[in-house]
Structure 1
Amino acid sequence: MSKPNRKRLHLETLRAQRLEAQGTKEIEVELDDEKFVFPLSAWWPMTVVKKIRALKDNADATQVLALISSQEQVDKLMELGLTLGDFQDIMEALNEDAGVGPGESTSSSN
């Protein structure tokens, strides 16, 4: 039984409110008439966030995309000629969702 003066968070309700405020859980990327879907950072499971934070500085940059979606999706993007600029645009859109400004990272620890 909960205590009467204890604050209670109803995560299902908060998730619904977040979805309503954002309007979506995903960002859609198009390249050569192919569509790719990546979840916005607010919806990444904490297990994935932990894996992203554990990546070393010299890790392949596309590993983040593979962790949040699938290696198959990243491989297809690479086949279609994903450029560094394309990758930066995708990551910028994901970082904007997370409230991270230029020069910061979703993997920085506080």
Structure 2
Amino acid sequence: MSKPNRKRINLETLRAQRLEAQGTKEIEVELGDEKFVFPCAAWWPMKLVKQIRALEKDDNSDATDMLALISNREQVDRLIELGLTLGDFMDIQEAIQGDMGVGSGESTSSSN
């Protein structure tokens, strides 16, 4: 039995509310006639967040390594083959993190 003055949250309910508010768990990126799908940051498992934070500290990592972590290397390599620019990359990153109110140059741990 729960204590009467203890606050309780149901994560499944909160996830459903978040999905309803955002309308999706993913962002679709189009380049030419091809489509690429990336998960929105609010839906990343915490294990993935830890990997991304470690990657950010790695001086040998490539800017696109984060995209490869959240999707797959083949998808990212194909985007590069199609002529992905730094501006494109920044737009994708901003859109992926936009659902959390995090803009480019900010981490998901910053408070707004």
Q: TM-score, normalised by structure 1?
A: 0.89
> Counterpart of 1:13?
13
Going from structure 1 to structure 2, the CA distance change for 1:21 and 1:63 (only over 3 Å counts) comes to same
Show structure 2 runs of 5+ residues with no match: none
Measured in 1, the distance between the counterparts of 2:53 and 2:21 equals 27
User: CA deviation digits over 1:49-83, x for unaligned, max 9?
Assistant: 00001112532011110111111111111111111
Which of 86, 91, 94 is residue 93 of structure 2 equivalent to? 91
Q: How far, CA to CA, are the matches of 2:8 and 2:110 in structure 1?
A: 29
**Distance (Å, rounded) in 2 between the aligned partners of 1:72 and 1:108:** 30
Which deviates the most, 50-59 or 25-34?
A: 50-59
> Which runs of structure 2 are paired with 1:55-94 in the superposition (5 Å)?
55=55, 56=57, 58=59, 59-94=61-96
Distance (Å, rounded) in 2 between the aligned partners of 1:11 and 1:47: 17
* Pair 101,75 (structure 1): closer, same or farther in 2 beyond 3 Å: closer
Residue matched to 1:104: 106
Cα separation, 2, equivalents of 1:3 and 1:81: 58
State the TM-score, normalizing by the size of structure 2.
Answer: 0.87
C-alpha RMSD of matched pairs (Å): 1.8
Contact 1:95 1:101 in 2 (8 A): yes
CA distance in structure 2 between the partners assigned to 1:67 and 1:52 by the alignment: 8
1:34 match: 34
Unaligned runs of 5+ in 1: none
Question: What's the CA shift for 1:97?
Answer: 1.6
Taking a change above 3 Å as real, the CA distance of residues 100 and 7 of structure 1, as seen in their structure-2 partners, is same
Q: Please say if residues 52 and 107 of structure 1, whose CA atoms lie closer than 8 Å, have aligned partners that are also in contact.
A: no
Number of aligned pairs? Answer: 109
